[in-house]
Amino acid sequence: MSAALFRSSTISEDQEYSKFFGHVSNQIRIFTFPRSMSLSPTINAVDLSAMNSLGLACKAERVTDLNDLSQLPALSALACLSAPVVVLGGGSNLVLPARLERLVVRVQLKGIDLVEQRPDAWIVDVAAGENWHDFVTNSIRRGWDGLENLALIPGTVGAAPVQNIGAYGVELDSRIESVTAWHIPESRLVTFKREACGFKYRDSMFKRAGLGQWLIVRVRFCLPRPWQPVVGYPDVLRHPALAGTTPEAIRAQQIYDAVCDIRRTKLPDPAVLGNAGSFFKNPVVSESEFNALKLRFADIVSYPQADGSFKLAAGWLIERCGWKGKRQGRVGVHARQALVLVNYGQATASELLDLAAAIKQSVLKAFGVVLEIEPVLVSDAGD
């Protein structure tokens, strides 16, 4: 991240950072801290298998909790002495190694605040450690509509911008006003307007920067009013929760109910069968590549993009290569959703990645298309 990108301002010693959260109006703004609190005591030799949705066994040498923003400078001081830290949210988009010597920081920051009720939007601040689905549920209950299509995605609010979560026609970036993050190596708190976050499909500049660089502490949502339903997906539109409702009469609660029900039916529950949701991104190809594929595979599933390219359904490609429901030792491809790789129990990251490599190879051979892994691969060596 280039220093030229930053517009900086310094908070005077006796002013509290929290007072300034309401005053951020520039594209990017930096804060420094008046006071610093020490980190929570480090716990040694922690088994992370229950803290990652794939259920991979991982012994972490040192784990600490971040409960308060004033602990951030202490975190940076500790981080500069060792390899980059691993920031851990709900662990639902991570592939962990068997052993981690790197310091693991669990983000436990809490708080939800309605900042402003504008005629054109609800503006809501949410701390990074809040559970994503609980926040969505809470917001629909309070009438802050707009996140219903993203219901039941596991994980935390702070991780949601990292891969710009999306589902059923809504991408998170369309609901974000700004993201406030701590730059761990440089010990600085920065607020990025949405345009500065480099959001793309399942990607952002926070993900591209690599582990241990940015720790997101707060997300400011902008939920447009009047609310407009997004029901482009046939599964949602035809769901019984929307039955008999005209497009004008649809309510956010109905979409929320439909999305929750569809997800419960289609996706394995990580509490029952370890998984990280989609293991591969949907690949994007040019129009000419798509036309060539369409000639060979008339029923190929695709979604035209605004720039003329085509997004292909990775699940369809994998299924056509015969992987759906296949098991390879302690790992496998889910029987109902070919995009989801599962851990049948006691599997290691390398078993899972071997399976992923075999799938990638056969999709490349059959279609000439390169699949990219979606979850973050954590190594113990640093990135």
Catalytic residues: 202, 278, 374
User: Least distance (Å) from ligand FAD to the CB of residue 296?
Assistant: 29
Q: Does 162 bind ligand FAD (CB under 6 A)?
A: yes
Q: What is the arrangement of strands in the sheet containing 274-278, beginning at the earlier edge strand? A: 274-278, 340-343, 331-333, 327-328
Q: Which of 72, 103, 107, 356 binds ligand FAD (CB under 6 A)?
A: 107
The closest alpha carbon to 338, from 285, 267, 287, belongs to 267
Interacting span for ligand FAD (CB under 6 A) from 69-77, 96-104, 164-172, 223-231: 164-172
Q: Does 302 bind ligand FAD (CB under 6 A)?
A: no
Q: Which of 78, 167, 255, 371 binds ligand FAD (CB under 6 A)?
A: 167
Distances (CA, A) of 371 to 258, 291, 315, 367: 30, 19, 11, 11
Q: What share of the chain is helix, strand, coil (3-state, %, to 5)?
A: 30, 25, 45
Q: Does 215 bind ligand FAD (CB under 6 A)?
A: yes
Cβ distance to ligand FAD smaller for residue 24 or 273:
273
Residue 276, C-beta contacts closer than 8 angstroms, at least 6 positions apart: 53, 54, 92, 93, 94, 95, 270, 340, 341, 374, 375
Q: How far apart are CA 282 and CA 339, in angstroms?
A: 9
Q: How far apart are CA 154 and CA 269, in angstroms?
A: 10
Q: What is the DSSP string of 275-310?
A: EEEESBPPPEE-HHHHHHHHHH-TT--EEE-TTS-E
Interacting span for ligand FAD (CB under 6 A) from 9-17, 38-46, 273-281, 300-308: 273-281
Report the site for ligand FAD in 47-76 (rule: CB under 6 A).
Answer: 53
Report the site for ligand FAD in 339-378 (rule: CB under 6 A).
Answer: 376
Q: Does 274 bind ligand FAD (CB under 6 A)?
A: no
Q: Does 277 bind ligand FAD (CB under 6 A)?
A: yes
**Binding string, 231-270, against ligand FAD, x = CB under 6 A?**
------------------------------------x--x
Residue with tokens 């992987």: 323
Binding region for ligand FAD (CB under 6 A):
53, 87-94, 107, 128, 153-156, 158-160, 162-163, 165-167, 206, 211, 214-216, 267, 270, 275-277, 376
